[in-house]
Amino acid sequence: MISSSINENDIEVELEELNQLSQAILTKYGYDFTNYAQSSFKRRIIMVLKKNSIKSVGLLIQKIVQDPKFFEQFVTDITVNTTELFRDPSFFRVVREELLPILSNRPEFNIWHAACSTGEEVISMAILLKEEGLWEKAKIYATDINTAVLKKAAEARYPLRNWELFKQNYSNTNPKGKLEDYCEIKDNEIQFDKDLIKNVRFKQHDLAVDQHFFKFDFILCRNVMIYFNQKLQNRVFELLHNSLFLGGYLALGAKESLIWCKIADKFAAFNENEKIYKKIKL
């Protein structure tokens, strides 16, 4: 990174300081933020400084190194955890109508939700699999760098304020379905049927440093690459490619693509609109 001065509102952060921060975190905790996209990473760091009334990146480094609990919260603060049930309904329609019929021909299949956040994507897929009679055939892993969101995902419980959005997204995916069949509302929360995630293995996994751990027929890695620079995206594409069986499928987020990456020729577009790709070469 080139060192330069950035003035954002009242806080000034040197890019060199961001490098020092990333290095300190890597050394102490093994999390590698060095190749996160610079501008969004910087914005989140400034937000953390403000939120905790910490006056400099140097003091933030001290606090992080000395206080593992603070670091846990720091990870939550700098990673963007926004997600939705049936986020991008048109994507889930294509999965239901075009991809699951292909996977259903396999005796069993493995799905990986990489960077699953609080698990709404996992619940969405479980509902699709139930409705298509494929739930018993699927082995599912759901991972994220952030253990706090994984705990929430395993509870399958969400604030009631999301209800209208969840219902709307679901009915855009399945106009005949009733979301109420999969959850109940109590104490201002939506509690999904835990049976939906009974077969899901939740596991901490850092796309920036960890290796592949299983082979999959379908990987969803949506809306996380946008936070990585090209070097890290290339690393992750390599990892995802190694994690797929030949003929396996990879889904990215609406604003993401692999057509520019180093191993683009090892994939073919299955549905370019919905950013679903098929592994065609080892």
- In the complex, which residues of this chain contact ligand SAM (CB under 6 A)? 79-83, 87, 115-117, 121, 144-146, 149, 206-208, 222-224, 227, 253
Nearer to ligand SAM (CB atom), residue 209 or residue 246: 209
Take residue 176 and report the two structure tokens written for it: 């005949």
Nearer to ligand SAM (CB atom), residue 103 or residue 236: 236
H or E element that contains 89 = helix 89-94
Q: How far is the CB of 55 from ligand SAM (least distance, A)?
A: 27
Residues 225 and 252: beta-carbon distance below 8 Å:
yes
Nearer to ligand SAM (CB atom), residue 56 or residue 81: 81
Q: How far is the CB of 69 from ligand SAM (least distance, A)?
A: 18
Nearer to ligand SAM (CB atom), residue 81 or residue 171: 81
Q: How far is the CB of 5 from ligand SAM (least distance, A)?
A: 27
Nearer to ligand SAM (CB atom), residue 55 or residue 161: 161
Q: How far is the CB of 36 from ligand SAM (least distance, A)?
A: 8
SS3 193: coil
Q: How far is the CB of 115 from ligand SAM (least distance, A)?
A: 3
CB half-sphere exposure, 36, CA atoms < 13 A: 26
Q: How far is the CB of 149 from ligand SAM (least distance, A)?
A: 5
Nearer to ligand SAM (CB atom), residue 25 or residue 207: 207
One-character DSSP codes across 22-79: HHHHHHHH----TTB-HHHHHHHHHHHHHHTT---HHHHHHHHHH-HHHHHHHHHHHS
Distance CA 137, CA 106 (A): 9
Contact partners, residue 249, CB within 8 Å, separation at least 6: 99, 217, 218, 219, 270, 276, 277, 278, 279
SS3 159: strand
